[in-house]
Amino acid sequence: MDITCSPGNKKAGLTTILENRLGRARAAAKAGTLPLTGVFRYGKPITSRGFTFMDRPGHDPASVTGQIASGGTLIAFRTGRGLAFGSKPAPTVMIASNTEMFLRQRDDMDLNAGTIVSDGARIKAVGRAIHDLLLRIALGERSKSEAMGLGDHEFVPLQVGAVM
C-alpha cells in the first residue's frame, strides 16, 4: 500500500514514492544557484525567506493544502497532464507545461508555458509572463479556478498512517 503515490503519478509511469521524491530532487536542482534557506515538514509554518523546501505528499490536493497550512497565500501550480484545480483560501494559478494540453483545457489554464517548446518562446519572456500574472492575481485579479468557483472540495489534509 502506498498512500502518497497518486493515481496521476501512477498513470504517468511512477511506480514508487521513491521515484516521486527523486522528481522533487530534480525540481530543487532547477533552482540553480539559489541557496536553500530552509527545509520544512508538511504543514509547518515557513519561517525563513527565499528558496525553501517542504516534504510533502505526492497527491496534489494534499500537497497544496500543506502549502497553504504553512502560510502560502498564492499557489502557482504547473501541470503537464491537465489537472484542473483550485484551492481556497489561496488562489491557484494553473500553468500549463505543454501547448497541446493547454489547448485542450484552455478554460482551466491561466497560462501556457508550453510555448517555449511549441513556438520557440524565450524562457525569460515566459518567466516574466508568469511573474506578471502572479502579481496581478496577488493584487486581486481572479484566476480561472477562482472565476469557476473551484476550491471548496480540494482541501485535503495529509492523513498520517495507513489509509485504506
Residue 143: Cβ-neighbour burial (10 angstroms; 0-12, 13-18, 19+): buried
Strands 92-96 and 75-79: parallel
Per residue of the chain (164 residues), give pLDDT as tens: 344 556 666 666 656 655 555 555 555 556 677 788 888 998 999 999 988 888 877 777 888 889 999 999 999 998 888 777 888 889 999 999 999 999 999 999 999 999 999 999 999 999 999 999 999 999 999 999 999 988 777 666 676 665 55
Give the pLDDT score at 27.
57
Q: Do 51 and 35 touch, CB atoms closer than 8 A?
A: yes
Omega before 89 cis (within 30°)? yes
Q: Count of CB atoms within 10 A of residue 145's CB?
A: 24
Q: How far apart are CA 27 and CA 29, in angstroms?
A: 5
Kindly report the pTM of this predicted structure. 0.77
